[in-house]
Amino acid sequence: MPHAKKGLRLDLRTLILVLSGLTAMLMLLTSYFASYRVQRQLLIDHSLESNRVYAAKLAAITDTFLGNGLQQLSFSAAVQALQLNHKAALQEETERLLRQSRAFNSTFVIDAQGMLRAVSPASLRHLLGSTVHSPGSQEALRERRALVSTPFLSSANNLVVALSQPMFDSQGNYLGYVSGSLYLREHNILNSLLGRHYYQDGSYLYVVDRNRRLLYHPDAQRVGTVVSGNELIDQLATLKDGTRQLTNSVGVQMLAGFATVPSTGWGVVAQQPLTQTIAPLRQLILNVIFISVPLALVGSLLLWWLALTITLPLWQLAAGARALDRAETAERLHRVKAWYFEAAELKRALLFGLNLLQERIGRLNRDVQTDALTGLGNRRSLEFSLSLLEAEGRGFSVIVMDVDHFKRINDGFGHDVGDQVLRRLAELMRRCCREGDVLCRTGGEEFLILLPGAPLEIASTVAQRLRICVQDTAIAPVGGVTVSLGVAQWQASGDEQPATTLSKADQALYAAKRAGRNQVSVSQAGD
């Protein structure tokens, strides 16, 4: 009969090498990805926070500037209230206020009827004596308090913000107000403060008022226009400061930080393109790859050498397992340098199996070693397990169990019911015992449990648990049954034979029966 073709089989060495290579590559790619994501988020967070801090700083500077401007106007208002009817002195103070600093583009005095009484610079003097109807003037006359007006378009199409202070006489009568104006589309100190954005990477700053009108923008053509469709600007009125990742009006992803000028409610927004923020990341990842690839190659060579070293004993043991029928196999297995635990255990198991193979081959049949009624091991199974434990030099404890008054069950209910009781007891034994314990039926109503590696204390605990479980379990139609148990221990270091230990367990069982049944009796060392 022709030999069947064998499929491709990879040996452990190849599998380890492939798995190690794939694992190293996966870890390397994972580290690259994680590094990229972490560094990207760090750059974004840093940019957002920097923009927020910058916007907050400009908002604070703007607020300070406006406060200083109102303070200057307050002093001038006190002076002008005393000389409102002295035209020359009124004009002189107005010019002094304009020359005092670069804070205003123009300064003027308007009386309570809205008439322009004094103005500077000289280019505006042709307006003297006229009534001013601008929104800023109407707001100042109506409010009669220190005021930063809502930005408005003047008759000359200038976008103007007017700062004003009211004038009162000694009796508290309202006389008008002193005002300084800022032309947002022309050069002034406020424009200079807001326009100094030092980044050269696509970052820019803009300022909007409460009505979403642009007060400052790098594109001068947009100053004075009303912004729509911008979620951040729509929410600025309810926010103090913060950060936001958004898309601007031309579809560019931006990292924005914003703050509010407390005295006016103006929103200052500093933002930077996302692409510019993460641009340095590409070179950073390339540097990481440049550094890590040589290390990865060295690591791969080390993994290859380790795989060869680890798999060599296993390969030699596998060759020995394929030739167990040869006389020289035992010598070859003895020469294998099993330098780690798993290889040493496999070597020992192979040597042990080689010695017992012929002797135990007939006992591996499950039908021969299994009790047909209960499914537990029979006496052959018990003898085989005892010989293995003795050959391995592994100690064990043994529990011998007998059903109390079992003859009464058979006589009173019949043998079929008696068999049913025995099968139920086998189920309870499986439930109460540990994994790895050997369960056997050694006679009619006699059972035995081997507990490999278990001391007397554990075996006694298992026996008591089993006794209570049987006692508390109703078995129809008999009702309750009880069992008596004897426990003993065999130690590999002693001279006692396993058969002697089983006899001690039997004697302990008889002692439990003599003591009244439904008990556990333990045979102590030396008994």
Beta bridge partners, 245, equal 255
Domain contains 329: no
Q: What's residue 298's pLDDT?
A: 81
Domain end point (choices 294, 321, 349)? 294
Tens digit of pLDDT at every position of the chain (527 positions): 444 444 556 666 677 777 777 887 888 788 778 888 888 888 888 888 988 998 889 889 888 988 999 999 999 999 999 998 899 999 999 999 989 877 888 999 999 999 999 999 988 888 898 998 888 899 999 999 999 988 888 777 778 899 999 999 989 999 999 999 988 877 766 667 666 555 556 788 888 888 888 888 877 788 888 887 777 887 777 778 888 888 877 778 888 889 998 888 888 888 888 888 888 877 777 777 778 778 778 877 887 788 778 888 877 777 777 777 677 777 777 778 878 787 788 778 777 776 765 455 445 556 678 888 999 999 988 998 999 998 888 999 999 999 999 999 999 999 999 999 999 999 999 999 988 899 999 988 999 999 999 999 999 999 999 999 999 999 889 988 999 999 999 998 878 889 999 999 999 999 999 999 999 999 876 56
Q: What's residue 1's pLDDT?
A: 41
Question: Are residue 286 and residue 396 in the same domain, yes or no?
Answer: no
- Which amino acid is present at 30? T
Closest CA to 190 of 235, 147, 139, 148: 148
- Which amino acid is present at 154? S
Question: Are residue 87 and residue 221 in the same domain, yes or no?
Answer: yes
CA dihedral over 129, 130, 133, 135, signed as positive or negative: negative
Active-site position among 95, 445, 446, 496: 445
Question: Are residue 254 and residue 385 in the same domain, yes or no?
Answer: no
Domain contains 333: no
Q: Is the pTM of this model over 0.75?
A: no
Question: Are residue 282 and residue 415 in the same domain, yes or no?
Answer: no
Question: Are residue 45 and residue 172 in the same domain, yes or no?
Answer: yes
Domain contains 317: no
Q: What's residue 360's pLDDT?
A: 54
Active site residue 392: no
| CATH code, domain carrying 45 | 3.30.450.20
Q: What's residue 188's pLDDT?
A: 67
Question: Are residue 274 and residue 371 in the same domain, yes or no?
Answer: no
3-state percent breakdown (helix, strand, coil) of the chain, nearest 5: 50, 20, 30
Question: Are residue 385 and residue 287 in the same domain, yes or no?
Answer: no
Domain contains 321: no
Neighbours of 104 (CB within 10 A): 24
| CATH code, domain carrying 464 | 3.30.70.270
Question: Are residue 59 and residue 152 in the same domain, yes or no?
Answer: yes
Q: What's residue 480's pLDDT?
A: 86
Neighbours of 84 (CB within 10 A): 18
- Block residue for tokens 């809502």: 150
Q: What's residue 372's pLDDT?
A: 87
User: Which structural domain range is residue 396 located in?
Assistant: 365-522
Q: What's residue 10's pLDDT?
A: 64
Q: What distance lies between CA 199 and its chain's CA centroid?
A: 35
Domain contains 459: yes
Question: Are residue 19 and residue 119 in the same domain, yes or no?
Answer: yes
Question: Are residue 380 and residue 513 in the same domain, yes or no?
Answer: yes
453 three-state secondary structure: coil
Q: What's residue 203's pLDDT?
A: 80
Domain contains 305: no
Domain contains 244: yes
Domain end point (choices 294, 312, 338)? 294
Across 169-252, the runs of DSSP E, i.e. the strands, are 174-183, 204-208, 214-216, 241-247
Domain end point (choices 233, 265, 294)? 294
Helices 87-100 & 12-82 angle (0-180, nearest 10):
160
Question: Are residue 290 and residue 370 in the same domain, yes or no?
Answer: no
Question: Are residue 375 and residue 496 in the same domain, yes or no?
Answer: yes
Contacts by residues 95-100 (CB-CB < 8 Å, ≥ 24 positions apart): 95/120, 97/72, 97/73, 97/178, 97/180, 98/180, 100/72
- Structural domains counted in the chain: 2
Q: What's residue 3's pLDDT?
A: 45
Domain contains 512: yes
The rounded distance, in Å, linking the Cα atoms of 488 and 130 is: 122
